[in-house]
Structure 1
Amino acid sequence: MQFPKAVCLRVDPDVMFPSAKDTKGIALAKATCAFCPHNDECMEAALATPAGRDEGVRAGTTQDERRKIRRRRAAATRKGQQALAA
């Protein structure tokens, strides 16, 4: 999914794909996302992308951060389903 006013579309694509150990690169990519009007939509699109295919910084989060968000959401969903079943 593309967002025509996305800030990341106006920077070198390499900026948005720093290595996991490149803390300065990650900070730059996250700063790029900070000014984007599409953060909410981008986050939902990033979370809908299968893990392992969602490289780079998206919506101001790294692949590892999005993995943690997915886990938290899945746990909350399971907890909610258990509460409904009780």
Structure 2
Amino acid sequence: MDTRSPLISYRHLAPAAKARVDALLAADTDPLTPPDFASRATWPDKYRQTHRETANWHFADIEIDQPDRGAACFGFPALPPKARNIVNPSSSLR
């Protein structure tokens, strides 16, 4: 699992955003991966190792001209419940 991309993203977070992300990670008790940003960002890869039925869930293909996370995720929640507390799902994806 390549953790370089998540770490690049993490380094570019604003301090307030980084603090909120760190707080979410610290509160997450999921034992599948360590509670650091890179590990959590690659959590689906780790989960897929033992749950092959999720292999086609690797990414969501969202159209740039008409972004629709609901359609891209086939009606499943686009964000985990914890993330919904800090992200407005109706905001623009651009």
Common fold: TM-score over 0.5: no
Higher share of residues assigned helix: 1
Flag the structure with larger Rg: 1
TM-score tier by shorter-chain length is 0.3 to 0.5
Q: Which has the higher contact order (CA 8 A, sep 6+)?
A: 1
